[in-house]
Structure 1
Amino acid sequence: MRVMRKWNWMVTAFLLLSLSAMAQQPAETHVTDAAASQTSQPSQPAAGQPAATSPAPQTQPASSQAAPASQSASPTTMDQVVDRFIEREHGLMKMLENRNPVVETYLQNLTLDPQLGPVPKDDHYFLGRMDLGESVDRKDYLRDQSMEKHLLGGFTKLFKMQYQPMGFSWMIFADRSDFDRQHYDFKYIHREFLGDVRCLVFDVTPKKDAGKGRFLGRLWIEDQDFSIVRLNGTYAPRPKNSYFFHMDSWRLNLIPGYWVPAYIYSEEGDFSAGAKNKIAFKAQTRIWGYDLKKDGKGDELTQVLVDSSVKDTSAAAQDASPLQAEREWQQQAEDNVVERLQRAGLLAPEGDVDKILQTVVNNLQITNNIELPRPVRTRVLLTSPLETFSVGNTIVVSRGLIDVLPDEASLAMVLAHELAHIVLGHNLGSKYAFNDRMLFSDDTTYSNLGFKHIPEEETAADKKAIEILKTSPYGQKLDSAGLFLKALQTRVGSLSALLTAHLGNNISEGTTVTRMSQLMTSAPAFDMNKLDQIAALPLGGRVKMNAWDDRVELIKSQPVAITSARDKMPFEVTPFFPRLSRLGTGTSGTNTTPTTANAGAAN
């Protein structure tokens, strides 16, 4: 009885303290209803008619992007939290409405393999620029291979719905036009950490008669500014003869005050016994280039002071010899191409990954006594297809190719091929020294630039590359490079989009891997059931990218034990699962990029 009285006294005291604390809370500032202040949406154009778009205003650099001012006191109830994240979501839409990021979707249609489970049977690729204005629109970089024609065979209407206002908008935002209490019910579930960020989790359901194509799923809300950081679900109810895919959409805190959309994973299909799949696929969508800039070169005239008394007395002050003039011309073309690709959002700014690639190239050069009149540079192409090319003395390797390479020796194989082209003088880019050739729109980049060698030059480069590799530090480690090519050979028939190079030469021709194929003859037998044989990684296994400024760095993930052949997933699409962190908390925004389960298994 004494214990019971003591317990009752403690409960009473706790309630009194709670009431006292609530009485001291500041009065809540009124949260404006987002729906009431929202401008009406323009009517959707008829099918087959392009939507009218106005030129996007010039974007501000990230350094001048101010964080949104807080207009309300900290929420004290879950209803106030809902009002706050609705308000924040509309603020994000407003901030992004003048942005035109690059958007890339890579999709693999699936079939069931009795041993490996669902595996790719064919694939599709889309790359373009997205206008985040009032009516979400896009421009294709790949006009002849747009996913509007090829994404899901005959499901053209499905694709159009996905990319019009109720299209990519629904993959990035929960609901672009009607995200409010009038159209949705919000139910608090629990608190949960996503990486370093504590979140409030809400289930969201559309109200009755809210209309078709409303978000149905779950939201994660970070608990400081109350911004949405993750959306997971689909859209319902679906119109007749149409489909809404499931999606898992992630945002990153890359600028003060905002979490911007960066990754979307989609998956459909049921491979359980007796299931009949109309659609079965996995797809990754990456968004980047929110703040495309020109390396600050617009400010150079305000930073450079000219002293007219200084004279150039070096040897270079004299007229160039014919050979010097040729090299200067090639350098000008090389610089033009690199700058133009970066302005188009296709090439990452110089960074730490370039230094790693450069180290491997230096190892190849030093051990082979290769001396060139100009240094070799390396850069990262931001796209997923597996490709390399060289322009002048700059070697470019795609992010997707770096992702799937299992080790440094395989990377050396890739770089040696392009280094061989440089050593042999196979320069294709001199015509780009004419600056008028750089005057084209970003969406026509692939039709205006190209660095494909003739077959004879490719054969000569392969032969020279193998000579370089054999006398390099990687000469005794080429079995892994050969195994990588063998693994690629097993998937070449189902990965035509991933293996289609858009600026350089293809690694394969038809259903045969042709690049450096001699290395396959001396490599061990490829065996998916051999768990310690990691011949290739899934996509996303190596490189992480900052969606705001396009910078890249290598993923630092913990090795994960592989317990079956199904864990290997070479060249496959996998879900995104970033470790979220806040900007300025000791980890950079790029540290929130997805990790792959077995990315470290080959290390």
Structure 2
Amino acid sequence: MRTLKILVLALGAMPLAAAAQQQTPLTEVVDKIVAQEQAEVQALRQYSPIVETYIQILRPSKDLGAVPNGDKYFLGRADLANGVELVPLVTGTRTKHKMFGALGSFFSDEFLPRGFLQMIYVDTNGFDRQHYKFDYVGREFLGEVRCLVFDVDPLSKGDKGRFVGRIWVEDQDYHIVRFNGGYSGRSKSSYYFSFDSWRTNDGNSEWLPAYIYSEEGDNVAVNTFKAQTRLWGYAPGRSMEEQELSKVLVETPRPVNDQTAIANDYSPLQAKRAWGRQAEDNIAAKMEQLGLMAPYGDVDKVLETVINNLEVTNNLDIQPVVRCRVLMTSTLESFTMGHTIVLSRGLVDVLPDEASLAAILAHELGHVVLGHRTGAQFAFFNRLRFDEKETLRHFGFTFTPDEEQAATLEGMDLLSKSPYKDQPGNTQFFLQALQDRAKEIPNLVSPHLGKSVAPTWTIASAASSSDPIAAKPAGNVIAALPLGGRIKVEPWNNRLRMLKSKAVGAVAEDEKMPFEVTPFFLYLTRQGVNPLTETPSAVSLKLDSDTNIPDRKP
């Protein structure tokens, strides 16, 4: 009887095993993708992320293929509840940026900011099997995320604004995590650009639009260009709130004894320092809340390590301690507010090495050592009550020309006694490359709150005067990195982390790309989930077999 029972159980299990091996119909998978994308469009309506678009107009170069020949810039906050509406943050007379186009109709003969924002959506009206043909291509890994890949085309050739291209769909919940192509229906007066749009996981089963690369090179109606659009600040202040809520403060029920022997009071000097620190904290907290400054993290610690190296080798004991923070924007700028040094993400991105970073920080540290102060009025909390659109006009951290020159001389002296004194070459090459390119990228080098990098040029020149420097870098030396060369942004909480990429080996001359726009290619992960047991050996790995849905080729 025992044998009979086993046989019966085995026979009873056979239909279940056979059912498990059955393939999911393609139409069912497509319907799940469509339903998830429609839910995504609705879910995004609750968010108002910051949107930054930077465009480089290109001209042909005999040796380098194409190089920048002008640029455009936009920084604003999206109002996704009302479609692709944008509120610009770069306005007024303080900033030097020239906004591209106007917030008018979608793509005319100008670059329009909300036209680039539109690229976060595949199709907001009619992304379904009634309007599109879905051809299954296969499976592919994007980082650690396994995806189903489909080619997508509108069923009606006459439809305008329909997506034409390829989509990548993560195979757990059927979110579209990447789509590459363009919109149909170009005409002489309006046209759509090719683009590659990426979404990243926020750890809560949401995939949020984060990076968009677009370009145009074969349309006589528009200039050849490349553009990067970044989105962040989906939950402004979330990381700061999480930090505050995680703190445990205990108030003792017993009265506190007056211990007069302990020096707890503030002297006038200490009170002045505390007042200045309060102003710095107020500014940083306000800008972090608005999504313009990253939460304190690993990148800030890297900058502070360089500051520590400069202080130790110069026997400096600065109180309060010097801190570093990072501005979220791509513009190349740095500034000092009290004892807090701020560098933009874009500036950290393009610096080629630690010595170049030290040259920038040495200039700012010079302001601290010399006692130059700005922003002390923001220790008053009523000074922080202003409309978000006025942020970049309300804050400003610049010094007089005499103070800048004094900080330059002090920075030169700090560098001459530092571990970086014997590494001036790359720093000089970086600043020379920036000086050579400045006319072609005026918006990138125009600061929002501080100053451009140009004043630090004399630091590298003077620091290297005792050693002859080559007229131009050797073939294997990169003077400056392209945009996005060092830092990756987590768009849901604004945290920054250093990129971890493999060595690339020999670099051709046209691959050096100083200060240039390049495509995005992300290593996608699921936040809060352990990596796959079998980690792919490359960023993108296409599998030959597919056991869940039938293999089909277009």
After TM superposition, the score normalised by the length of structure 1 is 0.79
Shift of 1:326: 1.8
**Does residue 387 of the first structure (1) align with residue 333 of the second (2)?**
yes
Matched, 1:118 2:66: yes
1:277 deviates by: 7.0
Q: CA deviation at 1:184?
A: 1.6
Letter in 2 for 1:579: Y
Counterpart pick for 2:241 among 281, 286, 296: 296
**Residue 580 of structure 1, aligned match among 506, 511, 524:** 524
Matched positions, count: 514
User: Relative to 1, partners in 2 of residues 1:515 and 1:400: Cα closer, same or farther, differing over 3 Å?
Assistant: farther
Which residue is 1:552 aligned to?
Answer: 496
> Which residue of structure 2 lines up, in the alignment, with residue 484 of structure 1?
430
User: Which stretch shifts more, 276-285 or 482-491?
Assistant: 276-285
Q: CA deviation at 1:78?
A: 1.4
Alpha-carbon spacing, 1:297–1:558, altered in 2? closer, same or farther (3 Å): closer
Structure 2 residue aligned with 1:24: 19
Q: Does the Cα contact within 8 Å between 2:408 and 2:458 map onto a contact in 1?
A: no
- Letter of the aligned partner of 1:217 in structure 2? G
Counterpart residue identity of residue 434, structure 2: L
Query: Which letter does structure 2 place at the counterpart of 1:414?
Result: I
1:431 match: 377
- In the alignment, the residues of structure 2 paired with residue 148 and residue 397 of structure 1 have an alpha-carbon distance, to the nearest angstrom, of 22
- Name the CA distance, whole Å, in 2 between partners of 1:162 and 1:88: 29
Q: Quote the residue 1:234 is aligned against.
A: 182
- Tell whether the 8 Å contact from 1:268 to 1:279 is kept in structure 2 after alignment: yes
SS at match of 2:230: strand
Distance 2:98 2:361 in 1: 34
Q: Distance in 2 between matches of 1:203 and 1:447?
A: 46
Gaps of 5+ in 1: 1-18, 27-73, 589-594, 596-603
Instruction: Output the CA distance in 1 between the equivalents of 2:246 and 2:20.
Output: 54
What are the residue-to-residue correspondences of 1:53-202 with 2, within 5 Å? 76-144=24-92, 149-150=99-100, 158=108, 162-164=112-114, 167-168=115-116, 170-202=118-150
Deviations 1:445-502 (A, max 9, x none): 1011010111111110010001001101111112221111111122111111111111
Note the alpha carbon deviations across 1:308-352, whole angstroms, 9 max, x for none: 61256475643x433222212111111101111111101111111
Residue pair 2:50, 2:234 contacting (<8 A) in 1 also: yes
* Cα offset, 1:575, TM superposition: 0.3
Larger mean Cα displacement after TM superposition, 290-299 or 259-268: 290-299
2:132 and 2:275 map into 1 onto residues whose CA distance is 62
Among 475, 485, 497, the residue aligned to 1:531: 475
CA offset digits 1:416-441 (Å, max 9, x no partner):
11111000000111111111111123
**Residue pair 1:128, 1:142 contacting (<8 A) in 2 also:** yes
> Of the candidates 251, 255, 267, which is equivalent to residue 306 of structure 1?
251
- Please say if 1:561 is aligned against 2:505: yes
The question of whether the paired residues in 1 share the 8 Å contact of 2:100 and 2:110 is answered with: no
Residues 526 and 128 of structure 1: CA distance in aligned 2, closer, same or farther (over 3 Å):
farther
Distance 1:372 1:246 in 2: 52
Mind listing any 5+ residue stretches in structure 2 that lack a counterpart?
Answer: 1-13, 533-538, 540-554
Residues 312 and 493 (structure 1 numbering): CA distance in 2 closer, same or farther, change over 3 Å? farther
Letter in structure 1 aligned against 2:489: M
Moved more, 575-584 or 74-83: 74-83
The CA deviation string for residues 13-68 of structure 1, in whole angstroms up to 9 with x for no partner, is: xxxxxx96797369xxxxxxxxxxxxxxxxxxxxxxxxxxxxxxxxxxxxxxxxxx
- 1:206 matched to 2:139: no
User: CA 1:519–1:78 in structure 2 vs 1: closer, same or farther (change >3 Å)?
Assistant: farther
**Does structure 2 retain, via aligned residues, the 8 Å contact 1:148–1:156?**
no
Give the 3 Å change call, closer, same or farther, for CA 379–523 of structure 1 in structure 2. farther
1:158 counterpart letter in structure 2: S
Please give the per-residue CA displacement for 1:71-126, whole angstroms capped at 9, x wherever unaligned.
Answer: xxx98111111101111112222222111111111110000111111000111111
Q: CA 1:451 to 1:515, structure 2 compared with 1: closer, same or farther past 3 Å?
A: farther
